[in-house]
Structure 1
């Protein structure tokens, strides 16, 4: 399953043509070709790899999953691996989709591992900036990276909103600790995943902007600089959110600990108060004669002792805010 496009002197000339026609278009001066494959095998890429002189190691990396985000430089082309990301706000889980790209002087070949990468959104981004199409592969590469990095930024922004909502739950009068723990762990897991995706993009975009690689011309340089600024903001925001989630979790544990201490103080205080009548009645329950034994005065004396000592303990604990 593939998609194709060709730009001639900065104008979209054709799309949806067979992959076999790529060589004919590349033979034309001023033509820039884009090819997109979804879930291909090495055999599927064999013809185009021979046509464009793609390195065997790059082709192997393109069809195998779980490559790290990177930019490799070969003699005739550059090889890019990056990840798009979307957030399921209800579950707090992150959906990551891997994309590889071969960047040559006049062609961009994108290889998606699955349908989760929205290549139609990338095409729409190219169409919205058609005035830059005259910059060839640099224009196509910018639209691709801009879509990926904007997706990262949206995910981080959404995570920030969910973490703020989690902060409000921490200080709720009747918090649901199990739900808070589940959400905090889910958000922390998503932050770890997005961090693995975002941080390597700083080096990727920075490498693409190197003038010795000749991937970006002077006109496209400010646009790639804008993408790089977004990458820096997203990566710094991710780091701060990870620290914030850790702080929220620690605060939650401290609040739970303080709440438990308060309960223990109350239980201990009531146990001390209950111990007084137990001790007094236990003393007067001895099977030996004592002052006030079998007399009304003895009964009232024991009752008065219980009331006075229990009341004194209650007032003392109340003053110390134990009750």
Structure 2
């Protein structure tokens, strides 16, 4: 059901609960009260009915039907159109879920069109109905209460992001392999949150600048300034989050490069050690190869071989083998292979 709540208020008190939009228009005109119509993902027909009754601008109606709008405040004649991006933090997924709320404010009506579950406008309505003196200030009081609710819901989001950033700072020097991805994904959520919250400052400042022209109650102006203060604090903290994450990415890149350099240095040292071992093995293999070659030749048992009949041939061959080994050992020693 698109029509979530629908009421007519007179002097801050709920005086009627019309069953449909047509009855709402009739009762509102008959009693001279304020209509507050709450819609959730309405049909085109419902939105166009409201647009025709309250003379809403076609561009604002088109935005409300299509959705996916940025946070903004626009005025079309006597109608104020506000688009808000409420947010909720999903801790398990470390993700910020954004909703979309269109608010149409006129002299005697408030129309809210939600494209997501949040914010809880039923709670906003209950709080205002419990304060008739505030609700009697008119549609601007409803807008204030909605803005206050949206900004209040940003508080848990800020706390969730801050907690995750603290965890990332702890993981930076632990060598966690997935920390780079986590930093990047969290930075993306912070940027999205910043895009939703930053326009609120200009919107609230614009409302306060026009408060005298549109005869906004002084008390209500103080309430709006309080919401502005909260929005400024949230924007400041979000800006700090973004800076911290950018610095964390830089630190992580530096640490990764350092770890890669350390690994390359370790591999180089290992290769050098292996090369030294190969040199030693090759040197001893060459030294042992010389006597093996000589003894192998004389071990072939041919009848005609040099010095077979010479009595000094055997010791001479041994001396030759020792001499060749000594020369090779000296050469390799000089080259620092041994």
Shorter-chain TM-score tier: 0.7 to 0.9
Report deviation, 1:116. 4.5
**1:202 is aligned to 2:205:** no
**1:109 is aligned to 2:111:** yes
1:36–1:110 Cα contact (<8 Å) kept: yes
Given the superposition, is the C-alpha separation of residues 64 and 288 from structure 1 closer, same or farther in structure 2, using an over 3 Å criterion?
Answer: same
Report deviation, 1:152. 2.3
2:134–2:141 Cα contact (<8 Å) kept: yes
Q: Distance in 1 between matches of 2:201 and 2:86?
A: 15
Q: Name the residue aligned to 2:138.
A: 136
**1:19 is aligned to 2:18:** no
CA RMSD of aligned residues (A): 3.0
Counting only pairs closer than 5 Å after superposition, residues 82-231 of structure 1 correspond to structure 2 as 82-127=84-129, 129-172=131-174, 175-177=175-177, 179-210=178-209, 211-214=211-214, 216-231=216-231
1:26–1:33 Cα contact (<8 Å) kept: no
Q: Name the residue aligned to 1:266.
A: 266
Q: Distance in 2 between matches of 1:38 and 1:99?
A: 9
Structure 1 stretches of at least 4 aligned residues deviating more than 6 Å after TM superposition = none
Q: Distance in 2 between matches of 1:282 and 1:309?
A: 9
Aligned partner of 2:31 among 28, 31, 34 = 28
Given the superposition, is the C-alpha separation of residues 17 and 205 from structure 1 closer, same or farther in structure 2, using an over 3 Å criterion?
Answer: farther
Considering only CA atoms, is the larger Rg found in Structure 1 or Structure 2? 2
Given the superposition, is the C-alpha separation of residues 46 and 280 from structure 1 closer, same or farther in structure 2, using an over 3 Å criterion?
Answer: closer
SS in 1 for 2:218: coil
TM-score, normalized by length of structure 2? 0.79
SS in 2 for 1:209: helix
Q: Name the residue aligned to 1:316.
A: none
Report deviation, 1:22. 2.2
Report deviation, 1:107. 1.2
Q: Distance in 1 between matches of 2:154 and 2:321?
A: 84
Range moving further from structure 2, 35-44 or 211-220? 211-220
SS in 2 for 1:219: helix
Range moving further from structure 2, 133-142 or 257-266? 257-266
Q: Name the residue aligned to 1:281.
A: 281
Given the superposition, is the C-alpha separation of residues 125 and 166 from structure 1 closer, same or farther in structure 2, using an over 3 Å criterion?
Answer: farther
Report deviation, 1:233. 1.4
Task: Note the residue ranges of structure 1 that are not aligned, 5 or more in a row.
Answer: 311-323
Task: Note the residue ranges of structure 2 that are not aligned, 5 or more in a row.
Answer: 292-318
Q: Distance in 2 between matches of 1:293 and 1:201?
A: 94
Q: Name the residue aligned to 2:48.
A: 46
Given the superposition, is the C-alpha separation of residues 288 and 61 from structure 1 closer, same or farther in structure 2, using an over 3 Å criterion?
Answer: same
Range moving further from structure 2, 254-263 or 100-109? 254-263
Counting only pairs closer than 5 Å after superposition, residues 283-298 of structure 1 correspond to structure 2 as 283-286=283-286, 287=289, 294=322
Given the superposition, is the C-alpha separation of residues 266 and 50 from structure 1 closer, same or farther in structure 2, using an over 3 Å criterion?
Answer: closer
Range moving further from structure 2, 207-216 or 159-168? 207-216
Given the superposition, is the C-alpha separation of residues 165 and 128 from structure 1 closer, same or farther in structure 2, using an over 3 Å criterion?
Answer: farther
Report deviation, 1:95. 1.1
Given the superposition, is the C-alpha separation of residues 222 and 261 from structure 1 closer, same or farther in structure 2, using an over 3 Å criterion?
Answer: same
- Count of aligned positions: 302
Range moving further from structure 2, 110-119 or 239-248? 110-119
Q: Distance in 1 between matches of 2:102 and 2:249?
A: 37
SS in 2 for 1:68: coil
TM-score, normalized by length of structure 1? 0.82
2:135–2:141 Cα contact (<8 Å) kept: yes
Q: Deviations over 1:253-297 (max 9, x none)?
A: 2122222222222222233233233223323433558x99658x9
